[in-house]
Amino acid sequence: MHSHDDDDHSHLTDIEARVRALESLLSEKGYIDSASVDKIVQTYETNIGPQNGAHVVAKAWTNPEFNTWLKNDATAAIHSLGYTSRQGEHMVAVFNSADTHHLVVCTLCSCYPWSVLGLPPTWYKSPPFRSRAVIEPRAVLADFGVEISESITIEVHDSTAEIRYLVIPERPENTNNLGETELAKLVTRDSMIGTAVLDKLSATS
């Protein structure tokens, strides 16, 4: 196999050549339009990403009515913000608290709330995370530098159906003076999967 950094198209890797052949055959046969493929890719590169989820979280922190709505019917609450897209059709929000920490995984494939977090990172889709999150969540969290006290309950959510889980992290301390837009900037992707917590430090840095 050649390096993927190789710009010379005469040295395509096997997989590059295969995908090119596939796309060109499918276009020629009228099964796909390559411009549609471009548009799908572009949408996930630009429009749909963790900024959507961060908006949901910040609103939940600042708007008690929205927070209650999110607890009772996350699908409707999240869709009301315009985040209706695929892999977000059915949503459940799980709220971290002083006594419970939530962690989301899909052991069987890589189900992930695309509508609010975008496409999943490689580690989320890889065997180490998928195999271990359910059996040793604390050790997995340690890989992320997150230590959860033994006295705190860890609830792991295995996304086996079309329900997608969004973790609502705890609002960092010392952020009472911040509004929804500023708060949203503090919310990381990993905190909405449950592999990070938002601490005081990150809030003030």
Partner 1 sequence: MNGGADLGGMMGFGPVVQEDNEPNFHHVWEERVLGITVALGACGLWNIDQSRFSRESMQPADYMKSSYYQIWLYGITNLLKEHNMISETELESGQPSLPRVAIKRMLLPDDVMPMLMAGGPANRQEQTAATFSVGQQVQTINAHPSTHTRLPRYARDKTGVIKKIHGVHVFPDSSAQGLGDAPTWLYQVSFSATSLWGEDKNARDSVSVDLWQPYLKALT
Tokens of 54: 């961060």
Backbone angles phi, psi at 143, to 5 degrees: -60, -25
CB of 114 to partner 1, least distance (A): 9
The residue from 35, 64, 176, 205 that contacts partner 1 (CB under 8 A) is 35
Is residue 203 within the footprint of partner 1 (CB under 8 A)? no
Nearer to partner 1, 30 or 64 (CB): 30
* Residue 111: active-site member: yes
Choices 55-63, 113-121, 172-180, 197-205; region in contact with partner 1 by CB under 8 A: 113-121
Q: Count CB neighbours of 25 within 10 A.
A: 11
The residue from 72, 160, 174, 181 that contacts partner 1 (CB under 8 A) is 160
Nearer to partner 1, 15 or 63 (CB): 15
Of the candidates 36, 34, 9, 6, the one whose C-alpha atom is nearest the C-alpha of residue 22 is: 34
Annotated catalytic residue within 34, 109, 126, 202: 109
Backbone angles phi, psi at 191, to 5 degrees: -70, -25
Q: Look-up: residue for tokens 């609830």?
A: 155
Tokens of 16: 């590059």
Three-state DSSP class for residue 13:
coil
* Whole-number Å distance between alpha carbons of 167 and 117: 11
Nearer to partner 1, 118 or 178 (CB): 118
The residue from 2, 6, 11, 20 that contacts partner 1 (CB under 8 A) is 20
Nearer to partner 1, 130 or 171 (CB): 130
